[in-house]
Amino acid sequence: MLQIFTGIFLCLYYCSDINSAYFSIFFLIREVYYGWSLRYFHSNGASFVFLFLFIHIGRAIFYGSYFYNSNTWFSGIILLLLLMAIAFMGYVLPFGQMSFWGATVITNLLSPIPSVVEWICGGYCVHNPTLKRFFIFHFLLPFVLLIFIIIHIFYLHLYSSNNPLKLNINNKISFFPFILYKDLFTLFLILFIYVFQIYFGIYSLSHPDNALEACALITPLHIVPEWYFLCQYAMLKTIPNKNAGFIILLTSILILYIYGEIRNLSVFIRLIHCNNNFIIILLFLIYIYLLWIGAQFPQEKYLSYGRILTLQFYYYHFYYLISLAIFIIIKMWIAKK
C-alpha cells in the first residue's frame, strides 16, 4: 500500500517521454519540497518488498507450507511473477544508463520469438513507445496485484497459517492479542530500518551508473540489475547461448510450481521432503552465492562458479520432480496390476 501511495504521487511529476523522463526525476529530487524523500521511499520500498518476499518464500519452503493448500502456494508464485514484472518496468522508467541497457538486454532475450520485441517495445529497440507502455503497465499492474493478494489471503485463511509443528488446529492460539502484538512489533522494526535506510542511506541499493542520463552510444562497463534480480541474472550470464539463457531464466522461477504438486505424494515421501532441511539450507547458500556472482564482472572464474551453482540449483529442485515422477510411475504400475 505504501508503494502504491508513493507511486501515485510520483506520477504527478513523472513525464514518460524519452527526452524528459530522466530530467523529471531529478526535478522531483532537487526542486520539489521533500520530493527526494518521496522518490526514495518508492525505490527503496521495492527492495524491502523483495527482501521480505524472499524471506517469506524461504519460510514457506522450510516449513513445507505447500503441502497443505497448494492454491496458496500457486497464487504466491503468481504474485512473485507480477512483482518481478512491475519492478523491472519501474526500474526502466527513470531512464538512466543502467535502466536503458537493462531494458535492452531483457527485451533482446525475446528476439527469437517473432514480433514480440516489436509488440512490447513499439519498435525494434527501447525507445519512446517503450517508455510510455512500461509506465502504463507499471501503474496498472499493482492494482491487479492487489486482487491476487486478496486471493492469496483468502486461500491462506481456509486452513490458517502453517507453523514449525506443521498444520494442526490443536496448536493454534488466538490472533488477539498474541499474534497481533508480534506483528506490530515486527512492523515497527521494519519501518524503523526502512526509514533509517531512506534518510541516512546506510547502503546503496542502486547502481551509481543509473544516476547518469541514458545514452545508446555508451555501454556501461558492467550491466547490473537491481539486487533482487541478481540470482536470475547470474544464471543468464553464465549460459553462453541466448535462447538457453532465457529458458533458464524463466524456469528458475516457474520451477517453484513443482512444490505445489508434491501434495500428491505418499506420506513417506512427504516426511522425506519435510525433514530434508540440509538441502533447503544448501539451496539458500546457493542463492546467496548466485547473488554475489551476478554482481561481479563476467570473468571466467565467476562464470565457471555460476554454471556449477546453477546445476546444483536445478538438481535440488529436480530432486522433487524426480520423486514425483517415480511415485506416479509406481502408482500407475500398481493400478495396472
Within its chain, how far is the Cα of 50 from the centroid? Answer: 6
CA distance 252 to 238: 14
Helices (H), 201-241: 230-238
> Exposed/middle/buried for 168, CB within 10 Å: 0-12, 13-18, 19+?
exposed
96 DSSP β-pair partners? 213
Which listed residue (65, 99, 226, 273) is catalytic? 226
Q: Kindly report the backbone phi and psi dihedral angles of residue 213, in degrees, each rounded to the nearest multiple of 5, phi listed first.
A: -65, 140
Which DSSP state fits 177? I
CA distance 47 to 94: 16
Catalytic residue list contains 209: no
Residue 94 contacts residue 25 (beta carbons within 8 Å): yes
213 DSSP β-pair partners? 96
Q: Kindly report the backbone phi and psi dihedral angles of residue 155, in degrees, each rounded to the nearest multiple of 5, phi listed first.
A: -70, -35
Which listed residue (157, 166, 172, 331) is catalytic? 157
Which listed residue (166, 172, 182, 242) is catalytic? 182
Which listed residue (183, 222, 242, 304) is catalytic? 183
Catalytic residue list contains 226: yes
Catalytic residue list contains 183: yes
Let me know how long the chain is.
337
Q: Which residue has the cell 521494519?
A: 190
Residue 239 contacts residue 294 (beta carbons within 8 Å): no
In the three-class reduction of DSSP (H, G, I as helix; E, B as strand; rest coil), residue 42 is classed as: helix
Output the CA torsion sign for 92, 93, 94, 100: positive
Rounded to the nearest 5 degrees, what angle is found at the Cα of 209, between the Cα atoms of 124 and 200? 135
Which listed residue (31, 161, 242, 331) is catalytic? 161
Residues acting as catalytic residues: 157, 161, 182-183, 226
